[in-house]
């Protein structure tokens, strides 16, 4: 069944699973050059100028925000990080924040007509801090989904252990079984959908994650560097959406440090979500974004 995958054929499942009483907006795949040689890819949702840009986490792809995009019913962009999804491979490591941020900046400046809210999850959130710091003409506000510069190897070990597991799988069912084991609270249908979006079959019949299709790679906890300082210098509205269930990489100390650095920041807790809030509670996340971004 996996070989019949069509990335635009599964949105009806998102609508049904989450009980959304809306139509699926028009959506298209796009590519934009970031250095004359490589392209960044993404999904453009809705008609008109984008009102929001969203960036996924490490080892994910733009489709992680599908249900959020459908629920929001606004024109928006969901980008693939370099080396992820349908974007070209990057010469830099999977967790290279500075280089990924530069690619995002080069893409966003070609795609938006004015400054818009920038929403970044996990690794995408750390990259988004850099973009917001460098290009305040592009970023009207910043939303961090379950991430702060306080992330480290210990806090993210459950994620990196999963991502850095088998480098390939004999079948799609084997890949899906590992995904289900790692995500016991999610529905099998949603995990199958996510795996189809985030995996690719090789000519020899084996399956690999999309971010590993170019070459085997190891995801490590990002090195945040001076991101706390950059975050503290921002003058735009900043929101942290924190998962409060098992799996979050943000703790009370991180939240306190964020509020110390950015006293006017908004913090929103999502009780029934872990690290992947857009997967665990996408409709609630959409409502939060509607409230804090517009």
Residues annotated as part of the active site:
122, 146, 275
> 250: which 2 tokens?
């943000």
Task: Judge whether 182 and 55 are in contact, CB under 8 Å.
Answer: no
Task: Judge whether 279 and 190 are in contact, CB under 8 Å.
Answer: yes
**Nearest to residue 141, comparing CAs of 111, 116, 123?**
116
Encode 226-265: b = buried (16+ Cβ within 10 Å), e = exposed. Answer: ebbebbbebeebbbbbbbeeebbbbeeebbebbeebbeeb
Task: Provide CB contacts within 8 A for 183, sequence distance 6+.
Answer: 191, 279
d(CA 119, CA 128): 7
Task: Judge whether 269 and 222 are in contact, CB under 8 Å.
Answer: no
């Amino acid at each position: 069944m996996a070989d019949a995958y069509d990335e635009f054929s599964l949105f009806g499942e998102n609508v049904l699973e989450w009980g959304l009483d809306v139509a699926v907006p028009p959506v298209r795949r796009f590519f934009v050059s970031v250095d004359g040689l490589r392209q960044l890819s993404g999904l453009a949702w809705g008609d008109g100028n984008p009102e929001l840009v969203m960036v996924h986490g490490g080892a994910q792809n733009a489709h992680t925000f599908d249900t959020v995009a459908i629920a929001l019913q606004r024109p928006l962009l969901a980008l693939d990080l370099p080396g992820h999804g349908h974007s070209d491979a990057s010469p830099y490591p999977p967790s290279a924040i500075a280089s990924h941020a530069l690619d995002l900046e080069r893409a966003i400046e070609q795609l938006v007509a004015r400054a818009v809210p920038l929403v970044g999850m996990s690794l995408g959130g750390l990259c988004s801090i850099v973009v917001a710091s460098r290009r305040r003409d592009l970023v009207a506000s910043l939303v961090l989904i379950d991430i702060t510069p306080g992330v480290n190897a210990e806090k993210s070990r459950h994620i990196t252990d999963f991502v850095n597991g088998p480098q390939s799988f004999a079948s799609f069912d084997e890949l899906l079984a590992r995904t289900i084991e790692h995500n016991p609270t999610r529905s099998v249908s949603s995990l199958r959908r996510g795996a189809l979006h985030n995996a690719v079959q090789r000519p020899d019949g084996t399956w690999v994650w999309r971010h590993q299709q170019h070459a085997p790679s190891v995801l490590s906890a990002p090195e945040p560097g001076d991101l706390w300082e950059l975050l503290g210098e921002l003058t735009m509205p900043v929101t942290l959406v924190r998962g409060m269930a098992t799996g979050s990489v943000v703790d009370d100390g991180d939240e306190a440090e964020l509020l110390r650095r950015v006293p006017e920041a908004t913090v929103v807790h999502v009780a029934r979500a872990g690290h992947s809030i857009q997967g665990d509670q996408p409709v609630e996340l959409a409502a939060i974004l509607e409230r804090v971004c517009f």
